[in-house]
A and B are shown apart, each in its own frame.
Chain A
Amino acid sequence: MLVKDIYIRDLTAITDDMTVREAIEILYTHRLPGVPLVDEDFRVIGYVSGSSISDVIIPDYVKRLVSTSYFPDIGILAKELASIMDSPVSEVKKWTPVVEEEDTDLTALKLMLEHHRNVLPVVDEENRLRGVITKEAILSAIVHMIDNEKNQEEEEK
């Protein structure tokens, strides 16, 4: 199966002229774990998510601790977030692998597994955002494929 058969035409994106505050608002209001970051021509230049933001505001020493019981209080996060809230969103972006419409679902799934991602941006030949593909969309497409094959076998019987 190809990416073009299963990807979601959701063009919600964060532009590189937005602030971290605006990015958080978009993530929250759209109930999305993360969205692609695009430049002024809608070309994908990264990915911004709740995790990429919390990675920046959680102090390194807390990250090194194995147990979250050492986490002091929410105030320390508030302080860190306040310091970057009105900064450009590029400060919290992460690199992201991308796929194209003609790539296979297997290519997308492999990239997701290799890079620990649940969502990948789908781009055109000029790297412009066309939508996103999710692990759930791939799994759902595989379930449909199994069901169709089963139905076909039964019809042939």
Chain B
Amino acid sequence: MVICVTLNPAIDAYLEVKKLIPGSFHRTEKEIYSPGGKGFIAAEILMKLGYSDVLSTGLLAGRNGLAWEDSATQRGVPGSYVYIHNGNTRRNIQIVDLTESTVTSIGTKGPEASPQDIEKLKKRLRPHLGRAEWILFGGSLPSGLSPDTYYELIKYFNGLGKKTVINATIEYLPRAADAIPFMLVEDPKEGEEHFGDIEVHSLEDEIKLAKSLMDRGIQVVSLSWQVIHNVIGIYGNVYHVHLVDPHIFSVVGANSALTAGLIHAIISGMEGPDIAKHAVATAYAVATKLEPDIDGIVQVQKVYEYVEVEKVL
């Protein structure tokens, strides 16, 4: 079983308007709402890849939380969530101006969690731990939680003999890396060129960083730039994986898909370069769609031909 934890999920709203004029009323031309959050997306992609023994879990709050859970359950992803009492699950709203082809984003601030909520979550997971081999933590932390939360959770579940995975933006990773997760997947953030105190400006820097993280005991490391270019370290080897002539529609959820692809490949018994190819192909399959979703494993296998893997270390 793979348990996928999203501590700060969001309802993702995609709204298209003819022309966005600040200060005026708009009627949408098209709207899509979906349950978002890196852990949930990874769980759903794992199921689409054919691995159905997943559990999506995390913290929800208020009416947005209920709506999120309803939508997540309708999509067929097995779930069990803990509700927190302060605030409301986030909404991430993307407004697309069809005339100017611009995207305006608004994110609500989300609920305030407490360490007690994390304890409740651990208690909720207890009856699943006998069967769970993997525990994935995806995305940001809600306010109210210590920056050490991922570090502590990874330490706790490592101690229980689980393969822990962290998929988050760079602000969470250096501290999470100190707990030595089994797998670390960076979600790229524009303008970020450092990992803790380490400067990362070039491909060589990324290769060195992947190697140094593996030297510390992390078995699988992925550093990527919008799916097109990826440095993936697997069991001591480093691969540069890039897409040939890519046609990317949206990278939303692509890194969660990459994480799901890595786990799926390892569970399926693939090795080194094949793991890297499968993971990036999964991410690319998602990036060719508007919603972070795939039709199935065949869609992933079809894009293998666009993925080039080169062993660089």
Query: Roughly how many angstroms separate A30 CA and B127 CA in the complex, as a whole number?
Result: 19
Residue pair B79, A42 in contact (C-beta under 8 Å):
no
Q: List chain A residues, Cβ under 8 A from B66.
A: 30-31
Q: List chain B residues, Cβ under 8 A from A13.
A: 80, 127
Query: Roughly how many angstroms separate A42 CA and B73 CA in the complex, as a whole number?
Result: 19
Residue B296 at the A interface, CB < 8 A? no
Residue pair A38, B83 in contact (C-beta under 8 Å):
no
Which residues of chain A have a CB within 8 Å of any CB of chain B?
8-13, 15, 17-18, 29-31, 38-42, 130-131
**Shortest Cβ gap from B77 to chain A (Å):** 6
**Shortest Cβ gap from B70 to chain A (Å):** 10
Q: Which of A8, A11, A30, A39 has the most CB of B within 10 A?
A: A11
- Chain B 61-93 interface mask (CB, 8 Å, partner A; 1/0): 000001001000100111111010100000000
Residue B22 at the A interface, CB < 8 A? no
Query: Roughly how many angstroms separate A30 CA and B76 CA in the complex, as a whole number?
Result: 18
Residue pair A29, B83 in contact (C-beta under 8 Å):
yes
Q: Main SS of the interface on chain A?
A: loop
Residue pair A9, B127 in contact (C-beta under 8 Å):
no
Query: Roughly how many angstroms separate A30 CA and B65 CA in the complex, as a whole number?
Result: 9
Tally of B interface residues using CB under 8 Å: 19
Residue B27 at the A interface, CB < 8 A? no
Residue pair B73, A40 in contact (C-beta under 8 Å):
no
Given contacts A8-B73, A9-B77, contact A30 B55 (CB under 8 A): no
Contact with A39, one of B79, B83, B127 (Cβ below 8 angstroms):
B127
Given contacts A31-B66, A41-B130, A42-B128, contact A15 B79 (CB under 8 A): no
A9, closest chain B residue (CB): B78
A40, closest chain B residue (CB): B127
**Shortest Cβ gap from B47 to chain A (Å):** 10
Residue pair A10, B79 in contact (C-beta under 8 Å):
yes
Q: List chain B residues, Cβ under 8 A from A15.
A: 123-124, 126-127
Query: Roughly how many angstroms separate A112 CA and B312 CA in the complex, as a whole number?
Result: 61
Given contacts A29-B83, A30-B83, A31-B66, contact A41 B127 (CB under 8 A): yes
B130, closest chain A residue (CB): A41
Query: Roughly how many angstroms separate A31 CA and B79 CA in the complex, as a whole number?
Result: 15
Query: Roughly how many angstroms separate A40 CA and B97 CA in the complex, as a whole number?
Result: 52
Q: List chain B residues, Cβ under 8 A from A11.
A: 55, 78-80
Query: Roughly how many angstroms separate A39 CA and B130 CA in the complex, as a whole number?
Result: 12
Counting from the closest, the 10 A-B pairs by CB-CB distance are A29-B83, A9-B78, A11-B80, A42-B127, A12-B80, A11-B78, A10-B73, A40-B127, A15-B127, A38-B127
Q: List chain A residues, Cβ under 8 A from B81.
A: 12
Considering only residues 79-135 of chain B, those with a C-beta below 8 Å from chain A are 79-81, 83, 85, 123-124, 126-128, 130-131
Query: Roughly how many angstroms separate A40 CA and B55 CA in the complex, as a whole number?
Result: 16
Q: Which of A9, A11, A29, A31 has the most CB of B within 10 A?
A: A9
